[in-house]
A = this chain, B = another copy of it.
Amino acid sequence: MRTRHIVQPIEETLKHPGFEERNKLYEAEAKARVPGVIQRALDDAELLTTDIDVIIYVSCTGFMMPSLTAWLINEMGFDSTTRQLPIAQLGCAAGGAAINRAHDFCTAYPEANALIVACEFCSLCYQPTDIGVGSLLWNGLFGDGIAAAVVRGRGGEGVSLERNGSYLIPKTEEWIMYDVKATGFHFLLDKRVPATMEPLAPALKDLAGEHGWDASDLDFYIVHAGGPRILDDLSTFLHVDPHAFRFSRATLTEYGNIASAVVLDALRRLFDEGGPEHRARGLLAGFGPGITAEMALGRWHRADETM
């Protein structure tokens, strides 16, 4: 990790002003920063707010009811009939889950467009009194980030989603979790988590197999794993060249682990590289609490190719 972005100066971040104040900061920072990120995603997709049918907002580092979706609809002029799907409890897997639920929605309604937003201010969950190994890892790895993307029922450029799936490693629901206290969300990380790529790799292979693909032999990989060593493990167990995970690695290096936003930022890097060739086959995946993998398979679609 070379650099990280955090919403407050480091001296403020290291203080704990209380859960109430933290959560007010979450709301204020989200309102200040999210609309601009959404606007860029809409502009890139050449869509207006009124073209969006569902907003899937994933965030595990602050809690608001109603979700920010209600404010966004009012503030940015989305239609009053826009569906709201806020997800707060899938942690780092939520970026993948957002893509997958958007894919489901557009499968049900092929004329629809889904907006995905991942907003994570991990620094607002820093707990100065937590000095266990898992907490020290969290503090060292995590960063703040916001990402947004549009999943279109038809058209556009990028990954044409073909199949998605979820996998829960049995009996691991306590390995990545929040302890919820008066001081807010306390991140607990079991020391067995770094070894989970071994049981998760077969789940990726199974999903690819159901699709007639070989997970070890795809053209691109957009994966969110917690840190660079876990990516190395995945490349070992999946028999994939570590270079394939360069997008995820670059996100971790430049921003730290920005939780559910990693997978969307890594995907942006694939776009920035010019994207693979038309109909290149790829895998998207995020891993998080549960321990849950949210996985998707798709082909790259270039807008300059005819359908």
Interface residues of A (CB under 8 A from B): 18-20, 23, 60, 63-67, 69-71, 73-74, 80-91, 97, 100-101, 104-105, 107-109, 165-171, 173, 176-183, 185, 203, 288-290, 292
Contact = CB atoms under 8 A, between A and B. Distances in A.
B86 A90 contact: yes
A178 B171 CA distance: 33
A87 B85 contact: yes
Contacts of A289: 65-66, 70
Contacts of A173: 66, 70-71, 74
A185 B65 contact: yes
A89 B104 contact: no
Number of identical protomers: 2
Given A168-B74, A170-B74, A170-B80, A91 B65 contact: yes
A276 B212 CA distance: 46
Contacts of A67: 89-90
Task: Report the 5 A-B pairs with minimum CB-CB distance, sorted nearest first.
Answer: A107-B108, A66-B289, A70-B173, A67-B89, A108-B108
A277 B201 CA distance: 51
A180 B69 CA distance: 17
A173 B70 CA distance: 6
A69 B94 CA distance: 14
A89 B74 contact: no
B19 A171 contact: no
Contacts of A166: 81-84
A83 B292 CA distance: 9
Contacts of A64: 89, 177-178, 180
Given A20-B180, A65-B185, 18 more contacts: A20-B181, A23-B180, A63-B89, A63-B178, A65-B178, A66-B91, A66-B177, A66-B290, A70-B173, A74-B170, A81-B167, A83-B166, A84-B90, A84-B168, A84-B292, A85-B101, A86-B88, A88-B88
A165 B84 CA distance: 10
20 contacts: A18-B182, A19-B180, A20-B182, A63-B63, A63-B89, A63-B178, A65-B90, A65-B178, A66-B90, A67-B90, A70-B173, A71-B173, A74-B173, A80-B168, A81-B165, A83-B100, A84-B90, A104-B105, A104-B108, A107-B108
